[in-house]
Every structure is written in structure tokens, then in C-alpha cells.
């Protein structure tokens, strides 16, 4: 599809619909495979594999948001096609290891409009694909491009796409940057005020079962814990510092638990609310728990 676009031929969108459905079926069979799919990339095939990964992330995210089946499929196609405009940008610029010149940056920033133009000339492209292609570099504070839209001016698809696009990019090895772990990526993305819809970013993290450092989560052990990092051969385990017994309504001596994605018990049930538990000063408590010197607990997550 990308080679055809380079030669000026119309994108065969109907083929992309079948591919999005196939990826969706794969995720349905083994949701845990999503994390591995996102990490499987060859440097010289980056744009293609990035598009496939964003498709998978969009499908998984849309299902987590309980959107209808047609929207899920259309958002998958949108993920596949969101970067098609990069066929108009030279490989030398896309793979340049150093900083881009002003002219090179302008060329890269032209890819949303170029992609939208290409898809608009192709029969069968879902409206959501055109929308995401044009808007995936917009930011909620209005500092993005090409339109400088902000807040409610941005569709749900655009806000979802911005998150999926950046998450996959920063967890990928690039010529100019070493990949972040999933935990590092979400931790940093939460700090970029004005870039993403914060509530939607939390829902995205929930859809992956990966949490930023400092997130309060509930464990199947009946404990509350704070995410402190990741571990494992591919950084797939979440390290949770358990510090509170939900039944006794009291703090316990903190212990670090490494919980694998496939763990049945103990497992992370989900994020929790400091307000619900009426912690008097959550920021102070969180800082104290994160700063504590603690020996690692026993390996968790094999059940």
C-alpha cells in the first residue's frame, strides 16, 4: 500500500479493512500479544510497522472504551492509514539521526495534509481515517498542527490517535532515540501538560494494563499499592509497592511486588482513587512511599 502511494496510485482502502479486521481478531484471541506486537519492529520498516502497531493500539483502546463494532473497525483502519502522508517525505529526512533543519521540519509537518489529500482521493476510506490522518498531531492546548485545534474542537478519534501515535513512537528504537519502556512512556506522557486529554490517557493506560509511576492501584491481595516502575526481560512486569490493607483500613510495611501481565494472583485489579480512601494528603503520602528504601519482595505473578 505504501509503495503504491509513492507511485501516485490510490490507496486500496478495502484491503486495509480486511487487515484491520485480522489484527482485531488476533487481539481478541490473545490480548496479551498486543504488547509484543507493539515492540516488534525492524528499524528499516519503521513507518509500516508503526502503522500496524497504531492500528492494534486503536482497536484495543476502542474496545476498552466500549465503542460499537463499526467504530472499532474504522478506528483500526484509521490507525493503519494515519501516517500515509509520510510517503511525501524523503527517507533521508524521516531517518535522519540528528536535529532537523527548519525546512526539513516543515516537510515532516506537511504529512498530515498530504495524507488527508491522498485518502480523500481514494474510494472507501472511512471518515474516521481522514479525520485521524489530518489531526493526529493536534494537541488539546491548541499548540499542535496543522489546524491548532484544541479541547472539544478535537474529535474522540483525534485525541485517541494522538495518544496511540506518540506511545508507539516513544516505545520504539529510533536512530536518534533509545526506546522507553511502556511504564517510562506513560510516566513521561502524563507530564506533558496540554498535549493529551488526561482522562483519556488514563483510560489508554488501563486498556494496556500498564501504569505510570505514582499511580495508585488495587491488588487482588486486598492491598493498595503505588506503581514504582517495571521489570522483567522486556520490562513487561509492573512493580507495585503495596502499603495499605483495604480490609484493616491501615497502612502496612511497604513491600515491592513484581506482577507479570499474565498473573492470576496477585494481579492488578485496576487503578484506584485516593479521594475514595480519604487519604489526608495524597501527594505527601505518595512521595513518602515512593522515597522509602525497601528490599524487593518475593517474585510475584507466576500463578
Taking residue 63's Cβ as centre, other Cβ atoms within 10 Å add up to 19
pLDDT reading at 20 higher than 90: no
Mean pLDDT of 164-174: 90
Residue that wins the pLDDT comparison between 46 and 170: 170
pLDDT reading at 43 higher than 50: no
Q: Please state whether the predicted TM-score (pTM) of the whole model is above 0.95.
A: no
Q: Which residues pair with 237 in a beta bridge?
A: 231
pLDDT reading at 129 higher than 50: yes
Kindly give the residue spans of alpha helices, DSSP state H, lying in the chain: 2-6, 13-29, 33-39, 46-64, 69-81, 91-94, 102-109, 111-120, 127-135, 156-170, 182-191, 198-208, 282-291
Task: Look up residue 45 and give its three cell numbers.
Answer: 520498516
Residues 93-109 as b/e (b if ≥16 CB within 10 A, e otherwise) read: ebeeeeeeeeebeebbe
pLDDT at site 14:
74
pLDDT reading at 298 higher than 60: no
Mean pLDDT of 124-149: 94
pLDDT reading at 155 higher than 90: yes
**201-259 pLDDT tens trace:** 999 999 888 899 999 999 999 999 999 998 887 777 899 999 999 999 999 999 999 99
Peptide bond into 146 cis (omega under 30): yes
pLDDT reading at 44 higher than 80: no
- Residue 214 φ/ψ region, left for φ over 0, alpha for ψ in the -120 to 50 degree band, beta for the rest: left
CATH 3.90.550.10 fits 2-208, yes or no: no
Distances (CA, A) of 157 to 65, 109, 137, 287: 12, 20, 12, 35
pLDDT at site 32:
57
pLDDT at site 303:
44
- Tell me phi and psi for residue 162, to 5 degrees: -60, -40
**pLDDT band of 301, cuts 50, 70, 90:** very low
Pick the range with the lowest mean pLDDT from 47-51, 221-225, 270-274, 281-285: 47-51
Q: How far apart are CA 257 and CA 298, in angstroms?
A: 7
Q: Chain-wide mean pLDDT for the chain?
A: 86
pLDDT at site 82:
92
Residue that wins the pLDDT comparison between 123 and 37: 123
Task: Look up residue 138 and give its three cell numbers.
Answer: 493536534
With CA atoms as reference, report the closest residue to 276 among 297, 234, 246. Answer: 246
pLDDT at site 16:
74
Amino acid at each position: 500500500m505504501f509503495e503504491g502511494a509513492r507511485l501516485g496510485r490510490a490507496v486500496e482502502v478495502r484491503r486495509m479493512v480486511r487487515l484491520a479486521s485480522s489484527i482485531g481478531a488476533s487481539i481478541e484471541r490473545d490480548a496479551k500479544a498486543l504488547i509484543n506486537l507493539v515492540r516488534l519492529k525492524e528499524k528499516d520498516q519503521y513507518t509500516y510497522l508503526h502503522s500496524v502497531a497504531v492500528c492494534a493500539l486503536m482497536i484495543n483502546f476502542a474496545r476498552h472504551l466500549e465503542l460499537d463494532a463499526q467504530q472499532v473497525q474504522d478506528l483500526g483502519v484509521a490507525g493503519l492509514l494515519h501516517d500515509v502522508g509520510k510517503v511525501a517525505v524523503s527517507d533521508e529526512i524521516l531517518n535522519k539521526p540528528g536535529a532537523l533543519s527548519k525546512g526539513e521540519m516543515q516537510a515532516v509537518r506537511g504529512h498530515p495534509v498530504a495524507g488527508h489529500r491522498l485518502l480523500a482521493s481514494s474510494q472507501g476510506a472511512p471518515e474516521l481515517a481522514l479525520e485521524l490522518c489530518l489531526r493526529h498531531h493536534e494537541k488539546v492546548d491548541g499548540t499542535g498542527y496543522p489546524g491548532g485545534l484544541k479541547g472539544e474542537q478535537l474529535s474522540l478519534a483525534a485525541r485517541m490517535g494522538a495518544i496511540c501515535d506518540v506511545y508507539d513512537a516513544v516505545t520504539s528504537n529510533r536512530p536518534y532515540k533509545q526506546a522507553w519502556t511502556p511504564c517510562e512512556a506513560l510516566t513521561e506522557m502524563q507530564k506533558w501538560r496540554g498535549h493529551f486529554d488526561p482522562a483519556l490517557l488514563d483510560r489508554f493506560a488501563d486498556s494496556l494494563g500498564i501504569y505510570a509511576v505514582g499511580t495508585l492501584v488495587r491488588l487482588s491481595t486486598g492491598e493498595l499499592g503505588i506503581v514504582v516502575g517495571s521489570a522483567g526481560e522486556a520490562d513487561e512486569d509492573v512493580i507495585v509497592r503495596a502499603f495499605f490493607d483495604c480490609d484493616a483500613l491501615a497502612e502496612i510495611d511497604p513491600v515491592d511486588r513484581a506482577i507479570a501481565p499474565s498473573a492470576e494472583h496477585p494481579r492488578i485489579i485496576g487503578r484506584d482513587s485516593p479521594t475514595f480512601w480519604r487519604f489526608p494528603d495524597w501527594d505527601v503520602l505518595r512521595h513518602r512511599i515512593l522515597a522509602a528504601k525497601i528490599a524487593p519482595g518475593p517474585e510475584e505473578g507466576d500463578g
